[in-house]
Structure 1
Amino acid sequence: MVREKKVYPLAHGITTQDTFAVLGDTLKFIKHKHAWKVWRVLKDFGCTVYPVADGVGRVEGSKVYANLAQLTGKVTVIVPCLLPEKLKTLVADASSAGCTKIWFQEQTWSKDLQQECESAGIEVIRGCVLRHKTYPGKVSLRYLSPCYWHGLRDEKVPIKRFGRY
């Protein structure tokens, strides 16, 4: 019996059905920093997610791609986990790879990147992936919770019980 994969909404039209590339660097993947955490959360939700960092061969058994060009046609959403000064070619690379959305994390967005995305026709989503959490078990609960950047007053989705809204 084949179980149907559940699709969960994440942010502004992004769902767990999208395919993701998480951009980081050696430190952010190997030392289990932000990029690794984002990659892990999306993976735990059952998303197809590719880690991208130059100079990292594998992370927890998954191949790490050196650049977005290696993922052309495979991803719909790019999640950068680097400061804007390290993202000079992000929009051009995303466009070349056929990506339609960039989900900027806290401190990765800038006005210049916003303008470049608008010019290239790439949708900009802002917000932290780490607000999403999954608790596996008999009853799989998934919800939004505030991460370090957001605090308790941040907008949350309604409580979900027994895997339903």
Structure 2
Amino acid sequence: MAREKTIYPLAEGLSTQDTYAVLGNAQKFQKHKHAWKAWRALKDFGCVVYPVAEGLARIDGSKVYSNLAELTDKVSVVVPCLLPENLKSLVQDAVLAGCGKIWFQEQTWSRELQQECDSAGIEVIRGCVLRHRIYPSKISLRYLSPCYWHGLRDVKVPVKKFGRY
């Protein structure tokens, strides 16, 4: 008997049921920086999530898409993990890919991008993906994570155990 997948709420109306594209560059994925961490966290939450970066074929066994156009009609939310100056065509690319929401991570949002999203009818969500992650309580390192403190009262997604939540 198949077990139903539990859906967990995330930021501002997003949930683990949405499909995501994490947009970064090869360095941010390969060196396990924020793009990799956001992609990994969403994947661990049980979300359908695609990594997007030019010049990278695979990461941790998953195919990496070179641009959002390759994901047309597959994702509902884009999660950019690049600085605003590297996101010149983000809104246009998101519209062409059929995405209705952009979840801006810390330091990726700008007023110009907000205006473009408003003009294009794209919903803007701001905040870090990692705020919704449960950090191990046995390790006091969670208290050192800025995402833990910033998201102290945010909804959390339980840790996956034995392939189930």
Cα displacement (A) at 1:133 = 1.6
Q: CA 1:4 to 1:115, structure 2 compared with 1: closer, same or farther past 3 Å?
A: same
In structure 2, what is the equivalent of residue 139 of structure 1? Answer: none
Aligned match of 1:151? 149
In angstroms, what is the RMSD of aligned CA positions?
Answer: 2.3
Q: How many residues align?
A: 152
Question: What do the CA deviations read for 1:74-107 (whole angstroms, capped 9, x no partner)?
Answer: 0000000000000000000000000000000000
SS at the partner of 1:78?
strand
Relative to structure 1, is the Cα distance of residues 129 and 87 closer, same or farther in structure 2, using a 3 angstrom cutoff? Answer: same
1:158 deviates by: 8.3
When normalised by structure 1's length, the TM-score is 0.85
Which digits, 9 at most, give the CA deviation of each residue in 1:86-135, with x for residues without a partner? 00000000000000000000000000000000000000000000112257
- Report the residue type matching 2:94 in the other structure: A
Tell me by how many angstroms 1:159 deviates: 10
Answering whether residue 119 of structure 2 is matched by residue 124 of structure 1, we say no
Query: What is the letter of the counterpart of residue 101 of structure 2?
Result: K
Structure (1 or 2) with the greater strand fraction: 1
Q: 1:18–1:48: 8 Å Cα contact kept in structure 2?
A: yes
Q: Aligned equivalents of 1:146 and 1:78: distance in 2?
A: 28
Q: Which has the higher contact order (CA 8 A, sep 6+)?
A: 2
| Bigger helix share | 2
Kindly report which structure 2 residues correspond to 1:108-119, keeping only aligned pairs within 5 A, or say none: 108-119=108-119
CA distance in 2, matches of 1:149, 1:3: 31
Gaps of 5+ in 2: 137-142, 159-165
Q: In the aligned structure 1, how far is the partner of 2:2 from the partner of 2:88?
A: 44
The change in CA–CA distance for 1:98 and 1:147 in structure 2 (over 3 A counts) is farther
Normalised by the size of structure 2, how large is the TM-score? Answer: 0.85
* Partner residue, 1:61: 61
Contact 1:106 1:149 in 2 (8 A): no
Other-structure match for 1:89: 89
Contact 2:19 2:77 in 1 (8 A): yes
User: What is the match of residue 73 of structure 2?
Assistant: 73
Q: Secondary structure at the match of 2:28?
A: helix
Q: CA deviation at 1:71?
A: 0.1
